[in-house]
Structure 1
């Protein structure tokens, strides 16, 4: 028996850090949604009690460092599953990009193994398992659009944003999320996103208001270390994207575009600037 799961990329429409907590994590408030750029995960039971991972991508670990491997081991150990599993990751989402590719792979692995091994684990339980793997994994378990609080695990599902095109562009650099958060000084943040107005824009399906209220407090930190991100934002704005923001800790920059007639021009203009460029739709 084989199980197939789709693992879509996420973008942050807003990312705010409120303060640094006593446990070392940052208290966040984020609005996240998913786009139609996805890895595909194939899972097949093995007769012997082992976890094997393969991928066509030559740049990802295929052992305990891989989040999908960690997800498989967690669910096996927690539910005392004695069967093995072969997992193939067909990677489309760029790595270390601020798009939660690894987290989405882990979430898809939890969902897929729940079906493959007929464990009947509820979505709430899967999200709890996901918390042990990473801050973005609980959101990726169910997807959709949500406000995430705490360190990302407290989720409130909300309506989808107004439908539009999303242009994603990743410069040829990799960014470590822990490095960016490590250099962030929460008390020094001057410009916090207006999350309330962003949520109003989503409720009212007001695309213009949505674009006006995109915000990410990590941008300033990432741009200081990687000025390519600022250049990429500037290029995307000049080419006519309606709203432009860095996703997560970066370095991927996305542009929201309402008119299909603009998409090809922006896409082709960015291809001259970096190799990893995608034109996709929001997953609503």
Structure 2
């Protein structure tokens, strides 16, 4: 069995610039990986089948699963006769705005590259990832990056200023399609992506906190008022900045001083079952 880590991501910024002819939205976002991760186990099969094994009842075990799609894409593209059993040990909440499914797909691409000895470069894997989903390319690279286009064009950034991240996910799932469907482009509040890039390059923690923004937040907050409650509580308990990740519903708070972390964590546990304290990973993994 070959094991690969699949880390979650958060959006420090998420901007929507317009609707594209292909039906997707043109986005500009800064994403970074955190040390909350699924573990993907890959085992070769001789019957040519792709099997998904997961104890999480919310995880599809068929062609809807992005890890399944990643395996099928490599199998079809490179004429692989062997099959694979993909065991998903989920730690990242499902339908949470943390790219859990996309990260599982990226880890599957990286793992099968090794298992099936395909000798593909990370750029080639990211290209394949873009065919599966908008966040998969970023998840192949990991680290911190500016993502543009529909999210598949990746420009590497240095690690953000070091800090603690507190993640809180209410017990609801959010459909990304519904959130984008409810977005009124003329009402979008655009985050300052350039200021965030500067904050990251200059390791300016205060500027990073000031520059956080998510154009989808207003839509999700209308659909799910409990997301607003978590944001308010996190701010009240002392987070330096608070934002929803992706299309939600997970909210994250940024904290520089460890002394405040426990207070926020314990305070949120009263409102929310799923609360995590994590660190930023910040840098890209190599394929070696």
Same fold (TM over 0.5): yes
2:62 corresponds to = 63
- Partner residue, 1:131: 130
Please give the per-residue CA displacement for 1:201-225, whole angstroms capped at 9, x wherever unaligned: 1111111110011000100000011
Is 1:50–2:41 an aligned residue pair?
no
How do 1:1-284 residues align onto structure 2 when only pairs under 5 Å count?
A: 2-189=1-188, 191-284=189-282
How far residue 187 of structure 1 moved from its aligned partner, in angstroms, is 2.6
Name the CA distance, whole Å, in 1 between partners of 2:52 and 2:208.
Answer: 40
Partner of 2:286: none
Segments of 5+ residues of structure 1 without an aligned counterpart are none
CA contact (8 A) 1:19 1:187 kept: no
CA distance in 1, matches of 2:43, 2:153: 32
1:132 match: secondary structure: helix
**Structure 1 residue matching 2:260: 3-state secondary structure:** helix
C-alpha distance in structure 1 between counterparts of 2:185 and 2:101, whole Å = 26
Partner secondary structure for residue 262 of structure 1:
helix
Deviations 1:83-140 (A, max 9, x none): 0111100000000000000000000000000000000011111111111110000000
* Stretches of 4+ aligned residues off by more than 4 angstroms: none
CA distance in 2, matches of 1:21, 1:89: 34
3-state SS of 1:65 partner? coil
Contact 1:111/1:141 (<8 A) preserved: yes
**Corresponding pairs, count:** 282
